[in-house]
Amino acid sequence: MSPNSAPAQRRTPAPPPGTWLGMPAFPKAAREQLQRAEQRQNLARATTHIRGKRAERAAEVADWEELRTAAAQIKTRVARHLDTYLVQAEEAMTAAGITVHWARDAAEANRIVGEIALAKGVDEVVKIKSMVTQEIDLNEHLESIGVAAWETDLAELIVQLGHDRPSHILVPAIHRNRREVREIFAEEMGRYGTPAPPTMTDDPEELAEAARAHLRAKFLRAEMAVSGANFLIAETGTVVIVESEGNGRMCLTLPETLVSVIGIEKILPTVADLEVFLTLLPRSSTGERMNPYTSLWTGVTPGDGPQDLHVVLLDNGRTDVLADPEGRAALRCIRCSACLNICPVYERVGGHAYGSPYPGPIGAILNPQLRGVASEVDQALPYASSLCGACNDVCPVRIPFTDILVHLRHKVVEHKTEHHPTAEQAAFSAIGWVMADGRNLAKAQLASRAGGAVLGDRWLGNRVIGRLPLPIAGRWLRARDVDAPPAQTFRAWWAARTPAAPPVDGSADAATEDRA
């Protein structure tokens, strides 16, 4: 409990100041994050570990690739007929005793949840980890109307008590190590309830035990819970939540009132479809054969669990994603986090650089579609990728990330051109000139070759460029080591080793380029 319940006093730990969209855009944010050596090590260790587990568990399933195809097809079917499925899901839920609400945007969803809390007369709710309530910033809305929202997932608790933001969609505190977690628990738990035992070390078992004790009192007295959902079955109105710790089951079972905020894209057509997703999701996300607990409920069961059930169906930009036939595949996402864990960019910069609770490759394609490309943060996100395509290969619903990224880059450029042409576009037209014709490329390479000769022979004994006093490359090279440009271009090398080859700078080159 907060030490003082006067309205001016916060009931829950304050998050860091500012908003996601008020954060610096990716290039600047990434540079800041790269300075954090400890965080980078935490991330590298964690993502390496989880990548290995995912690969092992995927390899155990003989028809893994067929499952991925089926999952993509099922989700595509839902997206292309979403109106039909939404109406079917609403009917089934209503028949099962669930009160269904619709919310056009974050403010409307927050208002609905807040009104239910006030009508129930509760001053606190327990929460199951949910991406969608991060997206709409529900906790801060509840705080503003005097209702304390308590996160009960261990990682979310670490983030909440640490006055921090989540940096990963599955393990929101992935950027914290055990020593930091111990400090946060020792410092903060006592202010809001059962304190951490004074003897607690940084052993993860002891930290988990402290969380169990801290939250147990909150579970036992909770009158209202708020959740998201992993799946909503249109056929039956069944809501499905997967989890590990049992905090979810506590929230879904003990309180009298349960409100689930569900993005409209979470629908699956039938109960049978669960076999595809409950095989893919745990193996892709935590690298387990199955997550410890999965809860399915179909309306109210007299004498068992919450007797007052609500579902808030949330749009908040999803219909904008749906309206772009090339980008709508992003709505298939089941939030497994495999694309984050495999991403070389995410692994280095972490989740705080993406200006959204959805980081990594899925964040790069989802945020600029959910929010549009008007802000600097969202304009930068489609470029927060090297287009290496590793995410394409692990995604259990086969989202074509690289295609969507390129498509969104195009949209960003279009948006900018509409407003004012930039130096960037001048650079692109220069590249266009170079690439359009083999003779131009050869001229440009002549310049690069000269640079390579200078750098390779005179400047760098080891042929690796570290820091350079050059205006642009110097900045780029601060976090990287690269080879010096070669003194000979591939084209010159090829010409030299092929006796009949036409002269490097000659016009015959054009033929080669034409075929390309």
Partner 1 sequence: MTTARAEILARVRRALADVDEPDPVRDVPVDWEYGRPLSTADVVADLVEKIEDYGARIVRVPAAAVPDAIVAALTEMEASSVVLPPGLDGAWRAAIEAVAAVTADEPPLTASELNAVDAVVTAAAVAMADSGTIALDHGPDQGRRALSLVPDRHVCVVRVDQVVSAVPEGVARLAPAIRAGRPVTWISGGSATSDIELARVEGVHGPRQLYVVLAD
Per CB under 6 A, 397 contacts ligand SF4: yes
Determine which helix (DSSP H) or strand (DSSP E) holds 429, and give its type and residue range.
helix 423-436
The item of partner 1, ligand SF4, none sharing an interface with residue 139, based on CB under 5 to 8 Å by kind, is none
Stretch that binds ligand SF4, among 135-143, 144-152, 343-351, 388-396 (CB under 6 A): 388-396
Between the alpha carbon of residue 264 and those of residues 228, 249, 331, the distances in Å are: 11, 23, 9
Stretch that binds ligand SF4, among 132-140, 308-316, 392-400, 483-491 (CB under 6 A): 392-400
d(CA 35, CA 75): 39
The item of ligand SF4, partner 1, none sharing an interface with residue 74, based on CB under 5 to 8 Å by kind, is partner 1
| Closer residue to partner 1 in complex, CB, 67/116 | 67
Residues 498 and 505 sit within 8 Å (Cβ to Cβ): no
Per CB under 6 A, 70 contacts ligand SF4: no
Per CB under 6 A, 463 contacts ligand SF4: no
d(CA 432, CA 336): 39
* E strands present in 13-104: 98-103
Token digits of residue 456:
């390779």
- The residue behind tokens 């969380």 is 211
From the list 336, 349, 370, 484, which residue makes contact with ligand SF4 (rule: CB under 6 A)? 336
The secondary structure of the chain in percent helix, strand, coil, rounded to multiples of 5, reads: 55, 10, 35
The item of partner 1, ligand SF4, none sharing an interface with residue 333, based on CB under 5 to 8 Å by kind, is ligand SF4
Q: State the CB neighbour count (10 A cutoff) for residue 58.
A: 19
**Span 269-308, contacts to ligand SF4 by CB under 6 A:** 284
- Give min distance, CB of 105 to partner 1, in A: 9
Count of chain residues binding ligand SF4 (CB under 6 A): 14
- Give min distance, CB of 237 to partner 1, in A: 9
The item of ligand SF4, partner 1, none sharing an interface with residue 82, based on CB under 5 to 8 Å by kind, is partner 1
Per CB under 6 A, 362 contacts ligand SF4: yes
d(CA 81, CA 362): 23
The item of ligand SF4, partner 1, none sharing an interface with residue 487, based on CB under 5 to 8 Å by kind, is none
| Closer residue to ligand SF4 in complex, CB, 12/130 | 130
- Give min distance, CB of 50 to ligand SF4, in A: 12
Q: Which residues pair with 308 in a beta bridge?
A: 257
Instruction: Label the pairing between strands 231-233 and 267-268.
Output: parallel
- Give min distance, CB of 467 to ligand SF4, in A: 35
The item of partner 1, ligand SF4, none sharing an interface with residue 106, based on CB under 5 to 8 Å by kind, is none
Stretch that binds ligand SF4, among 244-252, 297-305, 335-343, 418-426 (CB under 6 A): 335-343
Determine which helix (DSSP H) or strand (DSSP E) holds 239, and give its type and residue range.
strand 238-243
The item of partner 1, ligand SF4, none sharing an interface with residue 418, based on CB under 5 to 8 Å by kind, is none
Residues 104 and 315 sit within 8 Å (Cβ to Cβ): yes
Stretch that binds ligand SF4, among 103-111, 222-230, 390-398, 485-493 (CB under 6 A): 390-398
Buried b (16+ CB within 10 A) or exposed e, 151-172: bbbbbbbbbbbbebbbbbbbbb
d(CA 266, CA 410): 28
Determine which helix (DSSP H) or strand (DSSP E) holds 494, and give its type and residue range.
helix 490-497
Per CB under 6 A, 159 contacts ligand SF4: no
d(CA 466, CA 460): 9
Contacts of 212 (CB under 8 A, 6+ apart): none
- Give min distance, CB of 50 to partner 1, in A: 6
Q: Which residues of this chain interact with ligand SF4, rule CB under 6 A?
A: 284, 333-339, 362, 394-397, 399
